[in-house]
Amino acid sequence: MSVNVIFKIAAVGILVSVISQVLKHSGREEHAFLTSLAGLILVLFWIIPYISELFETIKQLFSL
């Protein structure tokens, strides 16, 4: 639960936007879409454990 996840996601976001721009200008439209999809899945992989850990703590804390 450290803060550098934010920076990792920002880095992925910037990277994906740059790559998709480049791919778009070089005519490969579908590759650009695939890259952004891959970026999306990668970010989701990072976020999901954090959210589930948070909800586990809440459930355990409030004995919901």
Partner 1 sequence: MEVLKIAIAGIAGVLFAVQLRSVRPEYAVYIGMVTCVILFYYGVSRLSIVVDTLNSIQNYVTVSDIYIKMLLKIIGVTYIAEFSSAICRDAGYQAVAGQIEVFSKLVILAVSMPVLQALLETIDSLIG
The closest alpha carbon to 42, from 21, 13, 3, belongs to 13
Q: How many other C-beta atoms can be found within 10 angstroms of the C-beta atom of residue 48?
A: 10
Instruction: Name the minimum Å distance from CB 51 to partner 1.
Output: 6
- How many residues sit close enough to partner 1 to count as binding (CB under 8 A)? 31
Among positions 33-52, residues that touch partner 1 (CB under 8 A) are 36, 39-40, 43, 46-47, 50-51
User: Residue ranges of the alpha helices (H) in the chain?
Assistant: 4-25, 29-62
Binding site for partner 1 (CB under 8 A): 1-3, 5-7, 9-10, 12-14, 16-17, 36, 39-40, 43, 46-47, 50-51, 53-55, 57-59, 61-64
